[in-house]
Chains A and B, each alone.
Chain A
Amino acid sequence: MDNSFLHIKKIMLIDDEPDLLKLVSKILTDEGFKNIIIATSVKEGIYVIKNEKPDLIILDVMLPDGDGFLLMEEIRSFTEVPVIFLTAKDETADKLAGLGLGADDYIAKPFMPKELLLRIYAVLRRCYKEEGTLLLKLGNCTIDFSRAEVIRDDEVIPLTAKEYTLLETLSRNEGKIVTVDAICEALWGDNPFGYENSLNAHVRRIREKIEAEPSKPVSLITIKGLGYKLNTRE
């Protein structure tokens, strides 16, 4: 999926390690992000957030003048801006604390640049999806999410609500396997047991709409025993 519409988003980094700030800035600018601001302490952070109104904050848990978790609480008191925690503490210990405070994701150091970008995109897409291009190009057709339609040659085929949700769930994790459990949860809520047959039926109907040969799918792929994957046109 094309993520370039997200490159105008203002990303704010709060970390006291200058070398790390430099690295993350480089990763982001090389990717195409144009608007990067930094802060190196809790005090500065709050001031900058209030003035600059960033679209995403990447926040280190350990700061010289305070705890990132406390800063998080303070941020949440005046804005709902998405926050990703970056921390050197162990994942298993801190993850729950971070997400419990309303953080959107959590990245444990050390991280690979690619991993960082993937997480940033995932959060940005989730928070700002309505602004993006809502056209998804597949091998054989295009899906227009704004109208819930499949555009195939000259034909326009409408999608049902469930089909729409299913495709949207897969497109958010485009190129990645989404388990049947996660799909059922997206379609039927918290206790989605026993819906496997319904899911199969929905997948079959979607394939009829988007695949050239529904029996030999190229876009909506079954991963045996696990779930499904949506491949876009390269």
Chain B
Amino acid sequence: MRSFGKYISKHLVSFAVFILLLLLINVIAFGCTFHSIIKKDYGGVSPNNMLEEIAAASTLDGLSDEARNKLESNHIWGIFLNASGETMWSVNSPQNIPAHFTVQDVAIFSRGYLEDYPVFVSNTHSGLLVLGYPKDSYSKLTSNYFSIQAIRTLPLYFLGMLTIDLLLLFFFYHLSKQKIIKNTEPIISSIKTLSNGNPVSLSISGELSEVADTVNKASKILSRQNEARANWISGVSHDIRTPLSMIMGYAEYIANDETVVNSVREQANIVRKQSIKIKELVQDLNLVSQLEYEMQPLHKKPVKLSKLLRSCVAELLNTGVSDFYSINLEIAPAAKNTSIECDSRLISRAISNLVQNSIKHNPQGCKIKISLDCSDTALILIISDNGIGLSSEKLQELDEKPHYMNSTNERLDLRHGLGLLLVKQIMKAHDGTMKINSIANHGFTTTLTFQK
């Protein structure tokens, strides 16, 4: 989410930079276009310079030839007035320019035009020099005045306006960023959910609804695939059960039939034992896949864990555990009456799986201890045995390597039973954790922690 905010900022900032660049380009283009005119208007031949030059060359009596030529070559006419308004001399002056000017005339033309000719005047010590430029060569502002106060306020105004503009711009930027994030946040968070393999359902109106629809569609496809996979596994495990019942039933019959040769009975016993393994696998497989794809409805109720443990251990002992094994249940006084919200069938399954694991891996027999303790925040259930345990490498492998159910790794030698995976998933479904621990030849310990 944060990275997306950065992404938007980056783009808006680059947008602003682009606008500045555009302004710069405009200024340069303006400069290129008006360069020559500006040079002419404000450079060496500008009316101001011309006035100065001509004024320097003029007296009451006349004008130097050099200056006269310069005026002619630039198509400028000129007259020189004395203090009483009489024309002392003129150069190229048009026909309709009068020879005498009153004070009113001078006041009027000195600001702008004389007979539609734009004129420029310069006061010399002997009289007034008037230069007339061709019609339509210059436009003169005849009424420009600014109050001093306005001019004085101008810098402050610019500074203030600039600040306000920047603030408004930033405010707008912030607002639009917030709006974009607000509109895209549900999409991004649902993509995140989707990437964790969980289904999403987005409902957004407006321009982004199309994106939401696409995300929903992807989620649907994902769920459908998961569902198909879980259903497939469930179907296979379902179809195996009935034939397996018969294999187990008849194998048991042959194994117990005293009229059958001993060696055949032994073989039947092997068939029976192996089919029990298949049975366990089939039962676990289905539940694992249901939990994996979250298709297993959880029937959570407040359950006294000590009571559940007692009935679970009693059931295990009642179904017949060989004398090579002992199962001990220890419930700490603090945990005696503690209840947690859980699906008791799943928890029983987890406990029975762990006990069965201890039995399976220790054919020579072992002592199994189940203990329940309670801290301020958690209930801790420990199932341990004093059997052969695991080497540290094997333990690490079991703990860290993903199970083949959730791995694309094809290495067959890493595959192991579903028992522990199922326990892990059951704990996950209860927001609890599973930790395994073992020392070679000193037993195997599984710690299940439930949050209170």
Contact = CB atoms under 8 A, between A and B. Distances in A.
A227 B310 contact: yes
Nearest to B252: A113
B307 interface: yes
Contacts of B307: 179, 181
Contacts of A225: 310, 328-331
B245 A20 contact: yes
A223 B237 CA distance: 37
A20 B248 CA distance: 11
B252 to A, nearest CB: 5
Interface in A190-234: 193, 223, 225-227
Interface in B266-304: 275-276, 279, 282-283, 286-287, 290, 296-297, 299, 304
Contacts of A36: none
Nearest to B278: A110
Interface in A77-110: 88-93, 95-96, 108-110
B32 to A, nearest CB: 81
Contacts of A181: 304, 307, 310-311
Given A88-B238, A193-B337, A111 B313 contact: no
A178 interface: yes
B304 to A, nearest CB: 8
A92 B330 CA distance: 28
Nearest to B319: A115
A17 interface: yes
Contacts of B282: 110
Nearest to A175: B318
Contacts of A92: 287, 296, 345-346, 349
B249 A27 contact: yes
Given A90-B237, A109-B242, A176 B318 contact: yes
Given A88-B238, A90-B237, A92-B346, A20 B246 contact: yes
A26 interface: yes
A180 B244 contact: no
A220 B363 CA distance: 31
Interface string A153-179: 000000000000000000001001111
B314 A90 contact: no
B394 interface: no
A23 interface: yes
Given A20-B242, A89-B238, A90-B234, A113 B310 contact: no
B275 A110 contact: yes
A91 B283 contact: yes
Contact of A177 (B242, B250, B317, B346): B317
A109 B253 contact: no
A88 B242 contact: yes
Name which of A23, A113, A225 has the most chain B CB atoms within 10 A of its CB.
A225
B241 interface: yes
Nearest to A89: B238
Nearest to B320: A114
Given A88-B238, A92-B345, A110-B245, A26 B318 contact: no
Contacts of B239: 88
Contact of B286 (A26, A90, A226): A90
Contacts of B287: 90, 92
Interface residues of A, number: 34
B338 to A, nearest CB: 12
Contacts of B311: 179, 181-182
A92 B285 CA distance: 13
A109 B244 contact: yes
A86 B414 CA distance: 36
A54 B328 CA distance: 43
Interface in B390-422: none
A19 interface: yes
A79 to B, nearest CB: 27
A91 B314 CA distance: 20
B318 A23 contact: no
Nearest to A26: B253
B346 to A, nearest CB: 7
A131 B242 CA distance: 35
A27 B314 CA distance: 27
Contacts of A89: 238
A147 to B, nearest CB: 30
A96 B275 CA distance: 27
Contacts of B314: 176-179, 223, 226-227
Interface string A137-157: 000000000000000000000
A226 B318 CA distance: 12
A110 B253 contact: no
Contacts of B349: 92
A8 B245 CA distance: 26
Nearest to B299: A96
A50 to B, nearest CB: 27
A115 to B, nearest CB: 8
A231 to B, nearest CB: 13
Contacts of B247: 110
A178 B313 CA distance: 10
Given A110-B245, A113-B249, A178-B314, 5 more contacts: A23-B249, A90-B283, A90-B290, A92-B296, A226-B313
Going nearest first, the 7 A-B pairs with the smallest beta carbon separation are A88-B241, A109-B241, A110-B244, A110-B245, A177-B314, A179-B310, A176-B318
Interface of B: 234, 237-239, 241-242, 244-250, 252-253, 275-276, 279, 282-283, 286-287, 290, 296-297, 299, 304, 307, 310-311, 313-314, 317-318, 328-331, 337, 345-346, 349
15 contacts: A17-B242, A20-B245, A20-B246, A23-B246, A26-B253, A92-B296, A108-B283, A109-B245, A110-B241, A110-B244, A110-B275, A112-B249, A113-B252, A176-B314, A177-B314
